[in-house]
Structure 1
Amino acid sequence: MFNKKDKQETPSTDNMEDVNNAFDSTEENENPLADELNANEPVEASAESKLKDELAQANDKYLRLYAEFDNFRRRTNKERAEERQTAGKDTIVALLPVVDDFDRALKAMESTTDINAVKEGVSLVFNKLKNMLAQKGLKPMDAKGTEFDADLHEAITNVPAPTEDLKGKVVDELEKGYYLNDKVVRFAKVVVGS
């Protein structure tokens, strides 16, 4: 019934065993690859854990640096606030002897009848005050007779110039201007000739 050709096309049970054996051997061959992959998993896991550790260290460094900067900022702000509160301390301490002199002059004015002695005492105290302020960098501004400069002077009013050469210049000084270390701290209030 079967011819030779048909026998070759249909696998025999022996051939089936060979196919199964081949399949089993392929599975066995894949198992070493799978074992290699499984063996690589701990390497990958250790690489992953290593990266996680590095990330944790970087985060820790960042947090420490941020905290250090925040502390620095707070400390600097505190120091600045303290400096602002005590900025004029040296000047105030230097002015105290002048205040004491004025206090003594006022007491002396109550009991004295000699006006010239009081004038002389007040003049001495005023000179002491001017010298002390000059030591701190305060310098009076000479404005009278100079060209009007809006960066230095504050014009209160304009008046007709008494002479032609005083046009546009300071005719009178109502309030003296001052420099502190070559920077204007008070503008001179002046009358300008027009």
Structure 2
Amino acid sequence: MAKSNKKTKKADEDMSKKKAEESKVKVEAEISNDTADTEENSAKTSEVSVESLKSEIDQLNDKFLRLNAEYQNYRKRVEKEKNDIFKYGSEKLFVEMLPIMDNFERALSASEQENIESKVLDGIKMIKKSLDELFDRNGVKKIEAMGMPFDPIKHHAVMTVESEDENNDHVIEVFQDGYALNDKVIRPSMVKVSH
């Protein structure tokens, strides 16, 4: 009986070993399957991750380009405003000086009509000449209007008359001179226009 017990024990041990090996093979197969699934999932996850990162990079690049363009536009606008301040900063002063210039021109026109010659008139001419030089140095120019085609930007028509010749829409008389500061009209000429 002892032999039979030994055989049974041995058979049990062999059976246990066989079952253990089968279990080990099953576990290894499951681990292998899990590893394959994990690798497949990992590959899919990394593909999704790469795609989302590429998308995010594209969005950030687009945002950067837009911000850079906005900054360049802002810089250009500020530079233009700064140039305009230097170019047209004295506009208000010259606009306020225009009535003074008009009065000097009226005084000279009246003295020429009455043929007045005096030292006071010479003084008025010198002051007018100084004002003309000041205007020229600062880019203030008189707008030429007489005989020119009517331009609503440069001229302010206060009267119109029927024209007998072919010069329609031309200035035929100037009531008040207009002025431009660096090509910007600061006061249009008051004129009579033919039509």
TM-score by length of 1: 0.45
TM-score by length of 2: 0.44
